[in-house]
């Protein structure tokens, strides 16, 4: 196959994939694939209060796992990698103060930055203060478009994890 023909076939495949605007919806325990990395909501709890800190709405406590499937590359990430979006398109970020309060209550360390070595796994307990009237909350992830995202055109950024 000539290089020109291969390039044409690749261009058509990329355009065809780009026309698909489907937003995959996953359940708890299913992984969002992003290049050599996988993000999973392992568990979800809800609380109205953490220690003496009361939620403005409801605290969503998300056990978030990062699996680095790379063979050589570390994965750098932080607690802002994930966010919640509701049916009205409103975004809710990790509440660092509530996260620290929960970590202190459970005797867990709090890290602002993570470096997950190739072939290993890290976890974070993220806390989101979501209004009680937020309809159909989903967790989504942020990240840079990486080489492995070329064929699915960054589907990780459109994938949602159902939290209701």
Residue 108 lies in a domain: yes
Residue 129 lies in a domain: yes
Report how many domains make up the chain. 1
Which DSSP symbol is given to 136?
Answer: S
Query: pLDDT digits over 48-64, tens only?
Result: 999 999 999 999 999 99
Residue 127 lies in a domain: yes
Residue 158 has pLDDT above 70, yes or no: yes
Residue 23 has pLDDT above 70, yes or no: yes
Structural domain harbouring 87: 23-162
Order the strands of the 160-162 sheet from edge to edge: 25-26, 160-162, 138-141, 82-85, 91-93
| Residue 30 burial class via C-beta count within 10 angstroms: exposed 0-12, middle 13-18, buried 19 and up | middle
Residue 2 lies in a domain: no
Name which of 83, 67, 66 is nearest 126 in CA terms. Answer: 83
Whole-prediction pTM value?
0.82
Residue 34 lies in a domain: yes
Residue 13 lies in a domain: no
| CATH code of the domain in which 106 resides | 2.60.40.1240
Residue 17 has pLDDT above 70, yes or no: no
DSSP assignment of 70-93, as one string?
-SS--EEEETTSEEEE-TT--EEE
Query: So what's the pLDDT on residue 58?
Result: 98
| Contact (CB, 8 A) for 61 and 10 | no
Residue 10 lies in a domain: no
Residue 58 lies in a domain: yes
């Amino acid at each position: 196959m000539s290089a020109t023909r291969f390039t044409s076939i690749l261009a058509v495949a990329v355009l065809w994939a780009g026309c698909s605007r489907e937003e995959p919806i996953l359940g708890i325990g299913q992984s969002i694939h992003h290049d050599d990395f996988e993000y999973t909501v392992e568990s979800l709890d809800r609380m109205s209060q953490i220690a003496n800190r009361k939620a403005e709405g409801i605290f969503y406590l998300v056990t978030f796992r990062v699996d680095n499937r790379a063979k050589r590359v570390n994965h750098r990430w932080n607690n802002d990698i994930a966010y919640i979006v509701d049916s009205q398109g409103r975004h809710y970020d990790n509440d660092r103060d509530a996260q620290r309060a929960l970590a202190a209550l459970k005797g867990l360390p709090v890290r602002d930055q993570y470096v997950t070595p190739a072939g290993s796994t890290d976890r974070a307990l993220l806390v989101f203060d979501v209004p009680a009237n937020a309809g159909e909350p989903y967790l989504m992830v942020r990240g840079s478009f990486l080489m492995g995202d070329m064929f699915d055109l960054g589907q990780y950024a459109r994938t949602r994890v159902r939290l209701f």
